[in-house]
Structure 1
Protein backbone atom coordinates (compact mmCIF):
# COMPACT_ATOMS: atom_id res chain seq x y z
CA UNK A 1 0.00 0.00 0.00
CA UNK A 2 1.36 3.38 -0.95
CA UNK A 3 1.23 6.34 1.30
CA UNK A 4 -0.27 9.41 -0.39
CA UNK A 5 2.21 12.23 -0.80
CA UNK A 6 1.47 15.24 1.31
CA UNK A 7 1.84 18.87 0.35
CA UNK A 8 4.61 20.81 2.03
CA UNK A 9 3.41 22.50 5.18
CA UNK A 10 4.49 25.90 3.84
CA UNK A 11 1.71 25.84 1.17
CA UNK A 12 -0.87 25.50 3.93
CA UNK A 13 0.69 28.03 6.25
CA UNK A 14 0.71 30.66 3.47
CA UNK A 15 -3.08 30.55 3.23
CA UNK A 16 -4.75 33.11 5.49
CA UNK A 17 -7.98 31.32 6.40
CA UNK A 18 -9.22 34.23 8.48
CA UNK A 19 -9.13 36.45 5.37
CA UNK A 20 -11.18 34.03 3.29
CA UNK A 21 -14.44 35.60 2.05
CA UNK A 22 -16.30 32.33 2.63
CA UNK A 23 -14.98 32.06 6.17
CA UNK A 24 -15.90 35.66 6.98
CA UNK A 25 -19.41 35.31 5.54
CA UNK A 26 -19.89 32.08 7.49
CA UNK A 27 -18.71 33.71 10.73
CA UNK A 28 -21.00 36.73 10.26
CA UNK A 29 -23.93 34.40 9.53
CA UNK A 30 -23.23 32.36 12.66
CA UNK A 31 -22.88 35.57 14.69
CA UNK A 32 -26.27 36.83 13.39
CA UNK A 33 -28.01 33.60 14.41
CA UNK A 34 -26.30 33.53 17.80
CA UNK A 35 -27.10 37.17 18.54
CA UNK A 36 -30.69 36.54 17.49
CA UNK A 37 -30.99 33.53 19.78
CA UNK A 38 -29.58 35.57 22.67
CA UNK A 39 -32.65 37.79 22.23
CA UNK A 40 -35.32 35.27 21.22
CA UNK A 41 -34.58 32.63 23.83
CA UNK A 42 -35.18 34.77 26.94
CA UNK A 43 -37.94 36.86 25.33
CA UNK A 44 -39.83 34.14 23.43
CA UNK A 45 -38.41 30.78 24.50
CA UNK A 46 -37.33 29.83 20.97
CA UNK A 47 -34.15 30.00 18.89
CA UNK A 48 -33.72 32.64 16.23
CA UNK A 49 -33.87 29.88 13.60
CA UNK A 50 -37.26 28.79 14.94
CA UNK A 51 -38.45 32.40 14.99
CA UNK A 52 -37.24 32.88 11.45
CA UNK A 53 -39.14 29.78 10.31
CA UNK A 54 -42.30 31.05 11.98
CA UNK A 55 -41.86 34.38 10.21
CA UNK A 56 -41.26 32.74 6.82
CA UNK A 57 -44.38 30.59 7.17
CA UNK A 58 -46.53 33.41 8.55
CA UNK A 59 -45.48 35.74 5.74
CA UNK A 60 -46.22 33.10 3.09
CA UNK A 61 -42.62 33.00 1.83
CA UNK A 62 -42.35 29.29 2.68
CA UNK A 63 -45.41 27.07 2.96
CA UNK A 64 -43.80 23.61 3.01
CA UNK A 65 -40.84 21.99 4.75
CA UNK A 66 -39.21 21.51 1.34
CA UNK A 67 -39.39 25.26 0.69
CA UNK A 68 -37.86 25.92 4.10
CA UNK A 69 -35.02 23.51 3.31
CA UNK A 70 -34.30 25.28 0.01
CA UNK A 71 -34.54 28.77 1.51
CA UNK A 72 -32.17 27.99 4.40
CA UNK A 73 -29.84 25.71 2.47
CA UNK A 74 -30.41 22.79 4.82
CA UNK A 75 -31.36 19.20 4.12
CA UNK A 76 -34.97 18.04 4.24
CA UNK A 77 -34.49 16.11 7.46
CA UNK A 78 -33.16 19.21 9.26
CA UNK A 79 -36.16 21.23 8.05
CA UNK A 80 -38.48 18.46 9.23
CA UNK A 81 -36.86 18.46 12.69
CA UNK A 82 -37.34 22.24 12.93
CA UNK A 83 -41.00 21.88 11.94
CA UNK A 84 -41.44 18.98 14.38
CA UNK A 85 -40.14 21.10 17.29
CA UNK A 86 -42.38 24.03 16.39
CA UNK A 87 -45.39 21.77 15.97
CA UNK A 88 -44.72 20.09 19.32
CA UNK A 89 -44.68 23.55 20.95
CA UNK A 90 -48.03 24.39 19.34
CA UNK A 91 -46.58 27.17 17.19
CA UNK A 92 -47.01 25.53 13.79
CA UNK A 93 -49.37 23.00 12.25
CA UNK A 94 -49.19 20.71 9.25
CA UNK A 95 -52.16 20.71 6.88
CA UNK A 96 -52.49 18.03 4.22
CA UNK A 97 -53.56 19.49 0.86
CA UNK A 98 -57.03 18.28 -0.14
CA UNK A 99 -56.19 18.37 -3.88
CA UNK A 100 -52.87 16.53 -3.59
CA UNK A 101 -52.54 14.46 -0.42
CA UNK A 102 -48.77 14.22 -0.92
CA UNK A 103 -48.40 17.94 -0.21
CA UNK A 104 -48.28 19.03 3.41
CA UNK A 105 -48.62 22.77 3.95
CA UNK A 106 -47.43 24.59 7.04
CA UNK A 107 -49.44 27.17 8.96
CA UNK A 108 -48.69 29.13 12.11
CA UNK A 109 -51.03 28.86 15.06
CA UNK A 110 -52.27 32.04 16.78
CA UNK A 111 -49.41 31.70 19.31
CA UNK A 112 -46.93 31.16 16.45
CA UNK A 113 -48.32 34.18 14.65
CA UNK A 114 -47.82 36.33 17.74
CA UNK A 115 -44.16 35.28 17.84
CA UNK A 116 -43.71 35.76 14.08
CA UNK A 117 -44.96 39.34 14.42
CA UNK A 118 -42.16 40.08 16.90
CA UNK A 119 -39.37 38.75 14.72
CA UNK A 120 -38.81 41.78 12.43
CA UNK A 121 -38.10 44.04 15.42
CA UNK A 122 -35.74 41.46 16.92
CA UNK A 123 -33.90 40.97 13.62
CA UNK A 124 -33.67 44.76 13.14
CA UNK A 125 -32.16 45.11 16.63
CA UNK A 126 -29.57 42.43 15.90
CA UNK A 127 -28.75 44.03 12.54
CA UNK A 128 -28.34 47.45 14.16
CA UNK A 129 -26.00 46.01 16.79
CA UNK A 130 -23.95 44.05 14.27
CA UNK A 131 -23.66 46.93 11.80
CA UNK A 132 -23.09 49.62 14.43
CA UNK A 133 -20.79 52.28 12.99
CA UNK A 134 -21.64 51.47 9.38
CA UNK A 135 -23.05 54.35 7.35
CA UNK A 136 -26.36 53.80 5.54
CA UNK A 137 -24.38 53.87 2.28
CA UNK A 138 -22.04 51.14 3.53
CA UNK A 139 -25.00 48.98 4.58
CA UNK A 140 -26.59 49.49 1.16
CA UNK A 141 -23.33 48.62 -0.58
CA UNK A 142 -22.89 45.50 1.55
CA UNK A 143 -26.42 44.32 0.74
CA UNK A 144 -25.87 45.02 -2.94
CA UNK A 145 -22.66 42.99 -2.99
CA UNK A 146 -24.27 40.09 -1.11
CA UNK A 147 -27.20 40.06 -3.56
CA UNK A 148 -24.76 39.96 -6.48
CA UNK A 149 -22.89 37.07 -4.86
CA UNK A 150 -26.18 35.19 -4.46
CA UNK A 151 -27.03 35.79 -8.12
CA UNK A 152 -23.55 34.65 -9.17
CA UNK A 153 -24.13 31.49 -7.13
CA UNK A 154 -27.34 30.72 -8.98
CA UNK A 155 -29.97 32.31 -6.83
Structure 2
Protein backbone atom coordinates (compact mmCIF):
# COMPACT_ATOMS: atom_id res chain seq x y z
CA UNK A 1 0.00 0.00 0.00
CA UNK A 2 1.42 3.37 -0.89
CA UNK A 3 1.73 5.97 1.80
CA UNK A 4 -1.02 8.05 0.16
CA UNK A 5 -3.41 5.07 -0.02
CA UNK A 6 -2.69 4.09 3.57
CA UNK A 7 -3.14 7.70 4.71
CA UNK A 8 -6.50 7.91 2.91
CA UNK A 9 -7.69 4.57 4.32
CA UNK A 10 -6.68 5.73 7.79
CA UNK A 11 -8.44 9.10 7.33
CA UNK A 12 -11.64 7.24 6.39
CA UNK A 13 -11.38 4.80 9.32
CA UNK A 14 -10.67 7.69 11.71
CA UNK A 15 -13.91 9.39 10.64
CA UNK A 16 -16.14 6.51 11.80
CA UNK A 17 -18.33 7.61 14.71
CA UNK A 18 -18.71 5.73 17.97
CA UNK A 19 -22.26 4.30 17.96
CA UNK A 20 -22.82 4.95 21.67
CA UNK A 21 -21.28 8.44 21.85
CA UNK A 22 -21.63 9.78 18.29
CA UNK A 23 -19.93 13.06 19.08
CA UNK A 24 -16.68 11.02 19.10
CA UNK A 25 -14.90 9.33 16.24
CA UNK A 26 -13.16 6.02 16.83
CA UNK A 27 -9.90 7.98 16.60
CA UNK A 28 -11.10 10.43 19.30
CA UNK A 29 -12.03 7.48 21.50
CA UNK A 30 -8.65 5.80 20.97
CA UNK A 31 -10.26 2.57 19.76
CA UNK A 32 -8.68 2.75 16.30
CA UNK A 33 -5.20 1.26 16.55
CA UNK A 34 -3.86 0.74 13.03
CA UNK A 35 -4.66 0.64 9.32
CA UNK A 36 -2.46 -1.53 7.09
CA UNK A 37 -2.40 -3.55 3.89
CA UNK A 38 -1.61 -7.28 3.95
CA UNK A 39 0.10 -9.32 1.22
CA UNK A 40 -3.28 -10.32 -0.23
CA UNK A 41 -4.08 -6.63 -0.85
CA UNK A 42 -6.72 -6.38 1.84
CA UNK A 43 -6.99 -3.34 4.07
CA UNK A 44 -6.84 -4.41 7.70
CA UNK A 45 -8.06 -2.08 10.40
CA UNK A 46 -7.13 -2.90 13.98
CA UNK A 47 -9.37 -1.80 16.85
CA UNK A 48 -9.43 -2.41 20.60
CA UNK A 49 -12.72 -2.54 22.53
CA UNK A 50 -13.28 -0.21 25.45
CA UNK A 51 -14.62 -3.20 27.44
CA UNK A 52 -14.50 -6.89 26.69
CA UNK A 53 -18.01 -7.70 25.60
CA UNK A 54 -18.69 -4.12 24.47
CA UNK A 55 -21.97 -4.37 22.50
CA UNK A 56 -20.91 -1.56 20.16
CA UNK A 57 -17.99 -3.53 18.66
CA UNK A 58 -20.08 -5.22 15.95
CA UNK A 59 -21.46 -1.87 14.85
CA UNK A 60 -17.97 -0.32 14.87
CA UNK A 61 -16.66 -3.15 12.67
CA UNK A 62 -19.60 -2.85 10.27
CA UNK A 63 -19.28 0.93 10.07
CA UNK A 64 -15.54 0.74 9.32
CA UNK A 65 -16.10 -1.90 6.62
CA UNK A 66 -18.94 0.06 5.01
CA UNK A 67 -17.09 3.38 4.99
CA UNK A 68 -13.99 1.85 3.42
CA UNK A 69 -15.87 -0.24 0.83
CA UNK A 70 -18.04 2.80 -0.04
CA UNK A 71 -14.76 4.66 -0.68
CA UNK A 72 -13.67 1.96 -3.14
CA UNK A 73 -11.58 -0.42 -1.05
CA UNK A 74 -12.59 -3.91 -2.18
CA UNK A 75 -11.33 -6.15 0.63
CA UNK A 76 -11.60 -4.81 4.17
CA UNK A 77 -11.08 -6.76 7.37
CA UNK A 78 -11.37 -5.46 10.90
CA UNK A 79 -9.16 -7.12 13.47
CA UNK A 80 -9.82 -6.83 17.20
CA UNK A 81 -6.85 -6.84 19.57
CA UNK A 82 -7.15 -7.01 23.34
CA UNK A 83 -3.55 -6.33 24.35
CA UNK A 84 -2.68 -3.86 25.52
CA UNK A 85 -6.16 -3.26 26.92
CA UNK A 86 -7.86 0.00 26.01
CA UNK A 87 -7.62 2.80 28.55
CA UNK A 88 -9.53 6.05 28.92
CA UNK A 89 -6.09 7.66 28.74
CA UNK A 90 -6.28 6.88 24.99
CA UNK A 91 -9.15 9.35 24.51
CA UNK A 92 -7.69 12.30 22.63
CA UNK A 93 -7.71 15.85 24.03
CA UNK A 94 -10.21 16.69 21.28
CA UNK A 95 -12.34 13.73 22.39
CA UNK A 96 -12.32 14.92 26.02
CA UNK A 97 -13.35 18.39 24.82
CA UNK A 98 -16.21 16.93 22.74
CA UNK A 99 -17.44 14.87 25.71
CA UNK A 100 -17.59 17.97 27.89
CA UNK A 101 -19.29 20.02 25.17
CA UNK A 102 -22.00 17.36 24.93
CA UNK A 103 -22.78 17.22 28.64
CA UNK A 104 -20.61 14.28 29.70
CA UNK A 105 -18.27 14.25 32.63
CA UNK A 106 -14.96 13.26 31.05
CA UNK A 107 -12.72 10.66 32.69
CA UNK A 108 -9.72 11.60 34.74
CA UNK A 109 -6.46 9.64 34.57
CA UNK A 110 -6.94 5.88 34.41
CA UNK A 111 -5.89 3.85 37.44
CA UNK A 112 -2.40 2.37 37.25
CA UNK A 113 -2.38 -1.17 35.92
CA UNK A 114 -0.64 -3.85 37.92
CA UNK A 115 0.23 -7.45 37.30
CA UNK A 116 -0.91 -10.26 39.50
CA UNK A 117 -4.24 -10.85 41.19
CA UNK A 118 -6.94 -8.21 40.89
CA UNK A 119 -8.19 -7.24 44.34
CA UNK A 120 -11.90 -7.81 44.88
CA UNK A 121 -13.80 -4.84 46.25
CA UNK A 122 -17.49 -4.90 47.00
CA UNK A 123 -18.01 -1.17 46.89
CA UNK A 124 -17.35 1.45 44.25
CA UNK A 125 -14.14 3.38 44.74
CA UNK A 126 -15.14 7.03 45.08
CA UNK A 127 -14.00 9.26 42.25
CA UNK A 128 -14.11 13.06 42.18
CA UNK A 129 -16.62 14.03 39.50
CA UNK A 130 -17.52 17.56 38.47
CA UNK A 131 -20.94 18.43 37.05
CA UNK A 132 -20.65 19.21 33.32
CA UNK A 133 -23.61 21.61 33.60
CA UNK A 134 -22.64 23.91 36.49
CA UNK A 135 -19.06 22.76 37.32
CA UNK A 136 -19.98 21.88 40.90
CA UNK A 137 -18.01 19.16 42.64
CA UNK A 138 -21.05 18.47 44.85
CA UNK A 139 -22.13 15.33 42.95
CA UNK A 140 -23.52 11.92 43.88
CA UNK A 141 -23.22 8.54 42.19
CA UNK A 142 -26.74 7.28 41.38
CA UNK A 143 -25.72 4.15 39.47
CA UNK A 144 -22.33 2.65 38.64
CA UNK A 145 -23.82 1.64 35.28
CA UNK A 146 -25.42 4.17 32.98
CA UNK A 147 -26.83 3.58 29.51
CA UNK A 148 -23.64 1.66 28.66
CA UNK A 149 -21.05 -0.23 30.72
CA UNK A 150 -18.45 2.49 30.18
CA UNK A 151 -20.56 5.19 31.83
CA UNK A 152 -21.80 5.80 35.37
CA UNK A 153 -24.86 7.89 36.20
CA UNK A 154 -24.32 10.84 38.54
CA UNK A 155 -26.47 13.68 39.80
CA UNK A 156 -25.37 17.17 40.70
CA UNK A 157 -26.60 18.08 44.17
CA UNK A 158 -26.45 21.82 43.38
CA UNK A 159 -28.24 22.13 40.01
CA UNK A 160 -29.94 18.69 40.41
CA UNK A 161 -29.12 17.64 36.83
CA UNK A 162 -28.34 13.97 36.14
CA UNK A 163 -25.35 13.31 33.89
CA UNK A 164 -23.19 10.51 32.56
CA UNK A 165 -19.56 10.14 33.62
CA UNK A 166 -17.24 8.18 31.35
CA UNK A 167 -15.56 5.78 33.77
CA UNK A 168 -11.79 5.63 34.10
CA UNK A 169 -10.40 2.28 33.04
Structure-2-length-normalised TM-score:
0.29
Would you tell me which structure has more strand in proportion to its own residues? 2
Structure-1-length-normalised TM-score:
0.31
